[in-house]
Structure 1
Amino acid sequence: MNKCFQLILLFSIGFSGPQWENSFTGLLSPGRHEIGLFSAFRMGLNNGSEISVNKFLLLPNVSYKTELPRFNNWEMAYGIQVAYPTIAMRWLQSPLGMKLGEPDMFALISPEFTIPQMLSVYGEIMGTKGTPLEGLLSINGGLGIGLNGKELAQRATIDLPIIYPRLSVYYNGLLIKVGSDYFRQLKGRWFYMIDYDMFFMPGGDGRFAFEHKGLLVWSKNEKFRILLGYKLVAGEYPYGSQAHLFPAVDFQFGW
């Protein structure tokens, strides 16, 4: 039962894949909306930018992306994300409790630890060139900073793939991420996508994590598509190095 709960949590964090070119510099047209079963809600703004909001209320975060001047053949953009994990981490001390912090058998963080008020800010620059027909390549790099009201105990980590590197910024104060994405049309409504991301966590018990995803995409139209594939995760954790392979699936809608 606890394994099932962990799998649900991993899917909720959202490792199924980006929405329509979310990892690329392309921005949503004004007034367009997109959402996925496991991915964020996105909306195009009138000023040529876009905003995305995590729909899982326990882990609120907001992202903003806008374009930069072109660099040679590269379309450029930058994004910034603000996240507030305190509610989610307190809930994980008592997923089935009557109040935050009450322990039970599904706790992923021991209730002996105090979870302070925390906030993180992540900034990223990305460049994209090519077309979906010939191949769309994107590279990106960013820096995250954690802001804690009080020091968070190092033993209060959630030592699970995907989750550990994303929360490490609250324990170490700093997260560095670099990655690349490739998207190409196969034929008709069929596309494929691969991506690679590297997380560097200076000062942590786990110093790095690597993630690779491969997806086959069937796009009915601009209103619906299905993504199916895998996600490979490898990295260091407080207890040692491990690698994991997960299925990746999402159903995404646009209007």
Structure 2
Amino acid sequence: VKIYIYIIILIGQLSGAQNWAPHSANLLTEKRWEMGFFQPLRYGYTETLEVSLHPLLFFVMPNLSVKIPHQNMGNWSTASRHSLLYPTPLLNMLSKGTKIGNNIASLISPNFLIPPMVGISNDWLMSRSLAFADITLHGGIDLGIVFGELDERSSIDLPLVYHRLGVYYNTWGLDLGVDIIKHLTKRLGIHTDFDLRLLPGLSGSYDVEHKLLLVWTKSEGVQFCTGYKFVYGQFPYGDETRFLPYVPLTETWIPMVELQVAGNRKKP
């Protein structure tokens, strides 16, 4: 069950945060699309609107994100990203658990019914190409709107998961960070980031996240990534450090490997 939830979280990121795609303020060109197993489907709807969603999760966790460009600030490109998320169906599925022998194993007790909840995220992005790398700064506010009673005991106290779902228990949170992309050769590059999530007033009020990816671009339409995600956070039971992906059954970390594809939709 833990493996299942980690895969779900890595795919969906539960707040529109795109772990395996850069937070760049630059939009995709019109009619271009990109997607990967651990990142959403992104589509350049127009020159001034980029739309993204996680198609594999859409029917159990409806989600939608849009990115809109704004006027440059000096040498910095700027954009805002606005996301909506409805995690209730997926969380209630997880509360049903998995039958193991005569017992039911679940991450959320079957005694809890997760009420309708909507997550709203608004982020400001600033990108710039420097001599040594491409850099993006981002920061924003996350809102968790709950239509009903949400029992605090229903929280999932796992790295990466807790601080994304925590916004529904805390009603709001903050996120900020920096993304850096360094091109080593024409086809090979490195993508790294450092992110901070804050849930002021909640037990387990912050986590620090870092990823490092080695990216090989085979062509304009195919890209391979491998790397890790590091999480250090404060939880109700104390502090914890974890490298992801993590396989609980063997208590080991394994490297992430992903294929990303892209293309251009022909204009009518």
Give yes or no for TM over 0.5. Answer: yes
Residue of structure 1 equivalent to 2:249: none
Change (3 A) 1:47 1:6: closer
Once the two structures are superposed, the pairs formed by residues 1-255 of structure 1 within 5 Å of their partners are 2-14=1-13, 17-19=19-21, 22-55=22-55, 56-57=57-58, 58-96=60-98, 105-130=104-129, 134-246=132-244, 247-255=255-263
Q: Deviations over 1:4-44 (max 9, x none)?
A: 3344334333598433xx41111011111111012111100
Runs (4+) off by over 4 Å: none
List gaps (5 residues or longer) in structure 2: 245-254, 264-268
- SS for the counterpart of 1:29 is coil
Q: Deviations over 1:117-150 (max 9, x none)?
A: 110110000101116x741011000001111111
8 Å Cα contact 1:16/1:250 also seen in 2: no
- SS for the counterpart of 1:171 is helix
Task: Give % identity.
Answer: 31
8 Å Cα contact 1:121/1:146 also seen in 2: yes
- SS for the counterpart of 1:45 is strand
8 Å Cα contact 1:17/1:250 also seen in 2: no
Q: Give the counterpart letter for 1:253 in structure 2.
A: V
In structure 2, how many angstroms separate the alpha carbons of the residues matched to 1:38 and 1:166?
A: 16
In structure 1, how many angstroms separate the alpha carbons of the residues matched to 2:6 and 2:72?
A: 41
8 Å Cα contact 1:137/1:181 also seen in 2: yes
Q: Deviations over 1:181-232 (max 9, x none)?
A: 0001101210001101100011211110010000100001120101101111
8 Å Cα contact 1:179/1:198 also seen in 2: yes
Q: Give the counterpart letter for 1:72 in structure 2.
A: G
Change (3 A) 1:82 1:41: same
8 Å Cα contact 1:177/1:197 also seen in 2: yes
In structure 2, how many angstroms separate the alpha carbons of the residues matched to 1:81 and 1:166?
A: 13
8 Å Cα contact 2:178/2:193 also seen in 1: yes
List gaps (5 residues or longer) in structure 1: 98-103
Residue of structure 2 equivalent to 1:101: none
RMSD between aligned alpha carbons?
2.0
